[in-house]
Amino acid sequence: MEENKLGYKNIYYPPGGILLLIIILLELITFGLTLVAMVIISKSNVELFHTSKMMLNTTLGSINTIVLLTSGFLMAQSTHYFKLKNFDKSSFYLKLVLLTGTLFCIIKSYEFYHKSIAGITLEYNTFFTFYWLLTGFHFVHVLVGLVILFIMLLSMKKNSSAVKEEDFEASSAFWHMCDLIWLILFPVIYLIF
């Protein structure tokens, strides 16, 4: 990240660079528009959406929300220590992020599995079409985030001082995007209808 003469970071250069910021904004817009479409469509079939929402496991969704929020906090800690050049602590927190991110995927996979064996698939009804598309797309983002963070961890293990702060911030920003998207998805899909 560029610094001015006083050593302050340039506010016009976001973490990970402008390209990552554009990608994150496009992702948020895509999820946001899909959720808006879901809400609009739900108005024409309130009973179907309510009945379908009752088929979701709110407990698992809540646990996953806590797990993902925890991973976001741990990622912030890892980034903080990375910037302080305390690579051991940064690596420790990054491992915890990978652990909590994997736990999120395990819980979500368990939920997906039970939906599919019950015959609740993408074609089940309109609500579940949105459910599978939105949560499935988010699941893929979490998997991609885990791969990115794992590569970052391997790079740190190989030579911490060679890892650029901008790259670490970019991986952190991507992970926080996954947190943010889930914080929007969870209440709309699991609680509102």
Q: Could you tell me the CATH number of the domain that includes residue 153?
A: 1.20.120.80
Please write the tens of the pLDDT for every residue from 119-159. Answer: 999 999 999 999 999 999 999 999 999 999 999 999 999 98
Residue type at 129 in one-letter notation = T
Q: Is the pLDDT confidence value at 16 over 80?
A: no
What is the residue whose two structure tokens read 């590569």? 151
Q: What's the whole-number mean pLDDT along residues 102-128?
A: 96
Assigned domain for 9 exists? no
Assigned domain for 91 exists? yes
Assigned domain for 40 exists? yes
pTM, rounded to two decimals: 0.86
Assigned domain for 35 exists? yes
Number of domains present in the structure of the chain: 1
- Residue-number span of the structural domain to which 35 is assigned: 18-192
> 11 to each of 3, 15, 23, 138, how far by Cα in Å?
9, 9, 18, 29
Assigned domain for 98 exists? yes
Q: How confident is the model at residue 92 (pLDDT cuts 50, 70, 90)?
A: very high
Q: What's the whole-number mean pLDDT along residues 39-48?
A: 92
| % of the chain residues with pLDDT over 90 | 77
Q: Is the pLDDT confidence value at 19 over 80?
A: no
Assigned domain for 151 exists? yes
In three state form, how does the secondary structure of 85-150 look? CCHHHHHHHHHHHHHHHHHHHHHHHHHHHHHHHCCCCCCCCHHHHHHHHHHHHHHHHHHHHHHHHH
- Contact predicate 165/28, CB 8 Å: no
| pLDDT, position 6 | 46
| pLDDT, position 10 | 57
Cα gap 1→156, rounded to integer Å: 19
Assigned domain for 99 exists? yes
β-bridge mates for residue 9, sequence order: 3
Q: How confident is the model at residue 174 (pLDDT cuts 50, 70, 90)?
A: very high
Assigned domain for 12 exists? no
| pLDDT, position 185 | 93
